[in-house]
Structure 1
Amino acid sequence: MKNVLSFLFIFLLISCNSNGKRPLLGETEYQQKLNASYKDATTSPLKKKDLKNFNGLDFFAVDSNFIVTANLTRIENAPVFEMATTTDRKPLYKEYGLLSFNINGQDLELTIYQSQDDLRDEKYKDYLFLPFTDNTSGNESYGGGRYMDVMITDIKDDNTIELNFNNTYNPYCAYNDDYSCPLTPRKNHLDIEIKAGIKAFKKN
Structure 2
Amino acid sequence: MKKLTLLFLLLSLSMTAQTENEAVAAIKNFQKELNDEYLNPKESPLRGNNLKDFKKHPFFPVNLKYRLIADFIKTTDAKPIDFPTSSGQFQKYLEFGRATFVLDGKSYTLTIYQNVRLSGKSGYEDYLFLPFRDETNGKETYGGGKYIDLRIPQDDKITIDFNQSYQPFCAYNAYDYSCPIVPEENTLPVKIEAGVMYDDVYHH
Write the distance in 2 (CA, Å) between the matches of 1:55 and 1:171.
Answer: 18
| Partner in structure 2 of residue 164 of structure 1 | 161
Runs of 4+ aligned structure 1 residues displaced above 3 Å come to: none
Matches within 5 A, 1:74-153: 74-152=74-152
> Rg bigger for which structure?
1
Unaligned runs of 5+ in 2: 1-26
Unaligned runs of 5+ in 1: 1-26
Q: Which has the higher helix share?
A: 2
Write the distance in 1 (CA, Å) between the matches of 2:52 and 2:122.
Answer: 34
Q: Provide Cα deviations, 1:154-179, integer angstroms capped at 9, x if missing partner.
A: x133x101111000111000100121
Query: What percentage of residue pairs aligned between the two structures are identical?
Result: 38
| Partner in structure 1 of residue 183 of structure 2 | 185
Matched, 1:175 2:172: yes
| Partner in structure 2 of residue 58 of structure 1 | 58
CA RMSD of the aligned region, Å?
A: 1.2
Q: Provide Cα deviations, 1:52-100, integer angstroms capped at 9, x if missing partner.
A: 1111001111001000100111110122110000113211011111100
| Partner in structure 2 of residue 18 of structure 1 | none
Q: Contact conserved, 1:133 with 1:146, CA < 8 A, in 2?
A: yes
Which amino acid counterpart does residue 201 of structure 1 have in structure 2?
D
Q: Contact conserved, 1:174 with 1:201, CA < 8 A, in 2?
A: no
| SS of equivalent residue, structure 1 residue 68 | strand
